[in-house]
């Protein structure tokens, strides 16, 4: 089990009990306002370049959310989530070329098919734990990369694989008719992402979430408490693969053309890196992770800085998270800000020693 | 089905590849046993060492000096990582330690992409002087580099086994594999023993990086992720047995290259290590045992 907080944060509190004083209503209101701002105002403010980048952020926030469920909630580290995303994108692209089904239905089907595939990958998780699971998923990711390099992504050809190497004019993967333009598709993907977040939120707040928390703390204890650990671990894999598959479907429409070279093995590693940096224990962490993974490269590209610096930064970030800040940026930044705020407020009001500023 | 003649040239190359996989696999196993770290940056340091050697040779440095720099670089980076991040992570879960080495992998990977850009499309190659010479065994053409590849694999198994069995340092490493705390209590300087293991692993990474750059390709991505193949061999041996690692590595290397002439499977031959390791892990881990000891995996 990946217990990031085991040694470095003796005061680490369970994520669900964080900020107990904040009224839930205010938080829900803040989230609703933020959501409406992203949905309505953001496409008006941004250029097409950044709208495309933000669509990617929406897609990858769902992928990071799925990995966050595995890593942060259940304590299973998967190094193959980018490969699962590629599978979802492949399935969606194939369905979109083969059928005229409405887009939401295709997304659902892509999610379900990816879920079946991901659960099959998850089956070894029932036998393997911790380190071995991480390594076997890394190998599966490598294996899927090899298969995809040979089969390629569907490009409107016939047959099961739907790939025709001789096609000169490759048709674009279609988008839903209500969201053909880039800003509209951005709104569409934000809506889909929001639905996925709600789905995961519903899981975390109910029985599966509690079971996962118990498993993460101690699997033998969870077993002794009568929790069907096999079922719930498999459930986590199924949920993570489902949302990742749906994200793959959104990705297929967002980029129009898919190439296997766009899904290298190192993406799975980078993905784990940003999820750990963003914070695996919080759902905000998934959004931070997606911003790191997709918005930062777009910004750097705009400024003419090589994206390789980001890879280096992510590497340093992983080392920093694992050694000093186990809950990631989503947890660390508010804490640091609160501490800073407490410090400033303490200086301004009275010369008393500043408190620790915990929220 | 291709004839026997088609397979012949791939026997030598497969054995050589297997030998280098064995080299890296044994390095991984020994480091894991001594420190509890699965060193996933193994391929990346080797790749960077090989790229540095390539740049040096291009700048007119003598071959042997460039290769020495490659090996020293890998050793130094690995030792540095071990000294810097080994102690703070020493008491953490093996999984955390392994993921931390992925951090080093990303740093090295980014650096390699930055310093040796691949966008230009120019291909790099390291040629060892042993490529040209060789001999014919039966009807199979064998180069000296291939002999070195297999020889290095065999040598590492023999040397490591003897080293672990008969030397004081080797005994200390075996003791630490059993229990780090008790070993420390007995007066073994655990930090120094760990440092030796890190340095040894780094040197092996440098050597296998050079050999793989010659036998396979000098490309950052390829070399970085070839570590997965040698890791597969180490995993089949459950990160424990050196002999089993060697056997698994040879099988992986041979099978990988022997699939080349078979048309329908040729494109999928890179999956050999993954498939073999996945099957082996599934078969071996049928027993589910819960225990509270640190040795559980």
Confidence of residue A13 (pLDDT cuts 50, 70, 90): very low
Residues 6 or more apart whose Cβ sits within 8 Å of residue B48: B73, B74, B77, B108, B111, B112, B209, B220
Q: Which residues contact B151 (CB under 8 A, 6 or more apart)?
A: B19
Confirm whether B295 is domain-assigned. Answer: no
Do residue A131 and residue B38 have CB atoms under 8 angstroms apart? yes
Could you tell me where the DSSP H helices lie in A206-328?
A: 207-217, 219-224, 229-255, 266-278, 283-290, 296-303, 308-323
Is the pLDDT assigned to residue B127 strictly greater than 80?
no
Structure tokens at B64: 């042997």
Torsion angles phi and psi, residue A166, rounded to 5: -90, 0
Tens-place pLDDT, residues A107-123: 888 889 989 988 887 77
Nearest residue on chain A to B289, alpha-carbon basis: A127
**pLDDT confidence bin for B76, thresholds 50/70/90:** very high
**Is the pLDDT reported for residue B142 higher than 60?**
yes
pLDDT at residue A11 tops 70: no
Q: What is the pTM of this model?
A: 0.82
B296 found inside a domain: no
Residue B291 resides in a domain? no
- pLDDT of B291 reads 44
Kindly report the CATH number assigned to the domain that includes residue B153.
1.10.3470
Task: State residue A356's pLDDT score.
Answer: 47
B228 is a domain residue: yes
Containing B134, the helix (H) or strand (E) segment is strand B134-137
Helices (H), B36-167: 42-58, 63-89, 94-115, 144-166
Strands B134-137 and B140-143, by their bridges, are: antiparallel
pLDDT in tens, A302-359: 887 777 888 888 888 888 888 876 666 767 777 777 777 787 777 777 654 444 444 4
In a domain, B103, yes or no: yes
Q: Do A315 and B110 touch (CB under 8 A)?
A: yes
B235 has pLDDT over 70: yes
Does the pLDDT value for residue A10 go beyond 50? no
CA angle B241, B285, B202 (to 5 degrees): 35
Structure tokens, A169:
């004019």
What residues form DSSP beta bridges with B140? B137
**A266 interface with B at CB cutoff 8 Å:** yes
* Helix, strand, coil share of chain A (percent; to 5): 75, 0, 25
- CA–CA separation, A290 and A269 (whole Å): 14
- pLDDT band, residue B297 (cuts 50/70/90): very low
CA pair distance A227, A70, nearest whole angstrom? 17
Q: Which two tokens stand for residue A270?
A: 């980078």
Beta bridge partners of B136: B141
Residues of A in contact with B294 (CB under 8 A): none
Of B108, B286, B290, the CB nearest to A220: B290
Contact A77 B99 (CB under 8 A): yes
Q: What is the pLDDT of residues A198-239, one digit of tens each?
A: 898 888 888 888 888 888 888 888 888 888 888 888 888 889
Task: Tell me what pLDDT residue A166 has.
Answer: 67
| DSSP letters spanning A306-349 | -THHHHHHHHHHHHHHHHT-TT-HHHHHHHHHHHHHHHHHHHHH
Specify the 3-state DSSP secondary structure of A186: helix
Interface touch B278/A317, C-beta < 8 Å: no
**CA dihedral sign of residues A262, A264, A266, A269:** positive
Q: Which of B106, B232, B285 sits opposite A311 (nearest CB)?
A: B106
Tell the residue number behind the tokens 């093996």, with chain if given: B94
Q: What angle do CA A181, A182, A186 make, to 5 degrees?
A: 120
Q: Report the distance separating Cα A20 and Cα A13, nearest Å.
A: 11
For residues A56-66, give the mean pLDDT: 89
Contact A315/B95, CB-based, under 8 Å? no
The distance in angstroms from the start CA to the end CA of chain B is 42
Give percent of chain A above pLDDT 90. 1
Q: Is residue B266 part of a domain?
A: yes
Q: Chain A within 8 Å of B250 (Cβ-Cβ)?
A: no
3-state DSSP assignment of residue B137: strand
Instruction: Give dist(CA A223, CA A217) in Å, integer.
Output: 11
- pLDDT at site A156: 67
Interface of A with B in 59-118 (CB under 8 A): 77
User: What is the reported pLDDT for A357?
Assistant: 43
pLDDT above 70: percentage of residues in chain A? 84
Q: What is the pLDDT of residue B187?
A: 85
pLDDT score recorded for residue A359 = 42
The Cβ of residue B165 has, within 10 Å, a number of other Cβ atoms equal to 10
- What domain count does chain B have? 1
Residue B184 lies in a domain: yes
Q: CA–CA distance from A198 to each of A84, A201, A234, B48, B139 (Å)?
A: 21, 5, 20, 44, 66
- Beta carbons of B85 and A319 less than 8 Å apart: yes
Query: What gap in Å lies between CA A334 and CA A340, rounded to an integer?
Result: 10
| H or E element that contains B149 | helix B144-166
- For residue B3, tell me if it sits in a domain: no
Q: Tell me: pLDDT of A292 over 60.
A: yes
Chain B hits for A142, CB-CB cut-off 8 Å, are: 225, 228, 270-271, 274
Closest by Cβ to A273, choosing from B102, B113, B221: B102
**pLDDT, position A288:** 84
- Residue B190 distance to chain A (closest CA, Å): 20
Beta carbons of A269 and B278 less than 8 Å apart: no
Contact A139 B278 (CB under 8 A): yes
Q: Which of residues 301-340 of A touch B (CB under 8 A)?
A: 306, 308-319, 322-323
- pLDDT, mean over chain A: 78
Domain of residue B66 covers: 27-117+125-284
pLDDT digits (tens, 9 = 90+) for B82-106: 888 887 887 788 888 888 888 899 8
Chain A positions in Cβ-Cβ contact with residue B283 (cut-off 8 Å) = none
Is the CB of B100 inside 8 Å of chain A's CB atoms? yes
Query: Which of A102, A354, A145, A118 is CA-nearest to residue A236?
Result: A118
Distance from CA of B221 to the nearest CA of A (A): 8
Indicate if the pLDDT at residue A279 is higher than 80: no
Q: Report ipTM (2 d.p.).
A: 0.80
Subunit contact B297:A143, Cβ cutoff 8 A: no
The Cα A301–Cα A62 span in angstroms is 23
Average pLDDT over residues B151-162: 86
pLDDT of residue A129: 66
Residue B288 region by backbone torsions, left for phi larger than 0, else alpha for psi between -120 and 50, else beta = beta
Q: Please check whether residue B249 is in contact with residue B259, taking contact to mean a CB–CB distance below 8 angstroms.
A: no
pLDDT score of A243: 92
Q: How sure is the predictor about B224, in pLDDT bands with cuts at 50, 70 and 90?
A: confident
**Is A49 in CB contact (< 8 Å) with chain B?**
no
> What mean pLDDT do residues B206-214 have?
85
């Amino acid at each position: 089990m990946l217990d990031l907080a085991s040694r470095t944060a003796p005061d680490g509190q369970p994520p669900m009990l964080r900020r107990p004083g904040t009224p839930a209503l205010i938080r829900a209101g803040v989230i609703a306002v933020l959501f409406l701002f992203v949905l309505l105002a953001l496409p008006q403010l941004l250029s097409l370049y950044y709208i495309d980048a933000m669509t990617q952020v929406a897609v990858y926030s769902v992928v990071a959310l799925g990995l966050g469920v595995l890593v942060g909630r259940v304590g299973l580290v998967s190094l193959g989530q980018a490969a699962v995303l590629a599978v979802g994108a492949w399935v969606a692209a194939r369905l979109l070329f083969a059928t005229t089904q409405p887009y939401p239905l295709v997304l659902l089907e892509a999610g379900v098919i990816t879920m079946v595939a991901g659960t099959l990958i998850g089956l070894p998780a029932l036998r393997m734990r911790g380190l071995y699971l991480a390594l076997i998923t890394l190998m599966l990711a490598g294996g899927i990369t090899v298969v995809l390099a040979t089969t390629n992504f569907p490009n409107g050809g016939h047959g099961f694989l739907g790939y025709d190497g001789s096609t000169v004019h490759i048709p674009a993967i279609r988008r839903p008719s209500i969201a053909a333009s880039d800003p509209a598709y951005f709104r569409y993907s934000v809506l889909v992402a929001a639905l996925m977040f709600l789905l995961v939120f519903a899981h975390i707040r109910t029985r599966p979430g509690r079971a996962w928390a118990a498993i993460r703390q101690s699997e033998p204890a969870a077993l002794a408490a009568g929790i069907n650990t096999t079922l719930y671990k498999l459930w986590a894999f199924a949920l993570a693969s489902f949302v990742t598959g749906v994200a793959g479907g959104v990705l297929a429409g967002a980029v129009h053309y898919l190439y296997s070279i766009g899904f290298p093995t190192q993406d799975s590693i980078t993905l784990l890196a940003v999820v750990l940096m963003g914070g695996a224990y919080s759902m905000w962490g998934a959004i931070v992770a997606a911003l790191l993974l997709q918005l930062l490269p777009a910004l750097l590209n705009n400024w003419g800085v090589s994206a390789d610096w980001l890879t280096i930064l992510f590497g340093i970030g992983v080392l920093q998270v694992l050694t000093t800040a186990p809950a990631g940026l989503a947890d660390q930044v508010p804490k640091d800000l609160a501490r800073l705020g407490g410090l400033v407020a303490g200086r301004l009001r009275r010369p008393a020693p500043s408190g620790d500023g915990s929220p | 089905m291709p004839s026997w003649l088609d397979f012949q040239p791939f026997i030598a190359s497969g054995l050589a590849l297997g030998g280098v996989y064995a080299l890296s696999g044994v390095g991984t196993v020994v480091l894991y046993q001594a420190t509890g770290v699965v060193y996933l940056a193994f391929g990346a340091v080797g790749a960077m060492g090989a790229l540095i050697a390539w740049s040096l040779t291009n700048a007119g440095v003598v071959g042997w000096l460039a290769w020495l720099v490659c090996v020293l670089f890998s050793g130094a980076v690995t030792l540095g990582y071990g000294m810097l991040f080994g102690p703070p992570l020493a008491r953490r879960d093996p999984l955390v330690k392994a993921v931390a080495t992925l951090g080093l992998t990303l740093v090295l990977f980014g650096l390699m992409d930055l310093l040796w850009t691949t966008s230009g499309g120019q291909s790099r190659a390291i040629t060892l002087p042993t490529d040209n010479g060789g001999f014919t065994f039966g009807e199979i053409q064998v180069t000296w580099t291939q002999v070195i590849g297999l020889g290095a694999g065999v040598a590492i198994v023999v040397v490591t086994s003897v080293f672990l069995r008969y030397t004081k340092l080797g005994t200390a490493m075996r003791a630490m594999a059993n229990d780090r705390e008790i070993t420390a209590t007995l007066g073994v300087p655990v930090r120094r023993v760990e440092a030796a293991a890190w340095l040894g692993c780094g040197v092996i990474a440098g050597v296998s990086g050079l050999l793989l750059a010659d036998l396979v390709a000098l490309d950052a991505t390829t070399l970085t992720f070839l570590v997965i193949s040698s890791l597969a061999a180490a995993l089949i041996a459950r990160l424990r047995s050196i002999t089993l690692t060697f056997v698994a590595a040879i099988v992986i290397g041979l099978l990988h290259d022997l699939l080349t002439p078979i048309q329908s499977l040729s494109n999928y031959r890179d999956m050999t290590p993954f498939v073999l390791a996945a099957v082996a892990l599934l078969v071996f881990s049928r027993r589910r045992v819960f225990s509270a000891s640190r040795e559980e995996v």
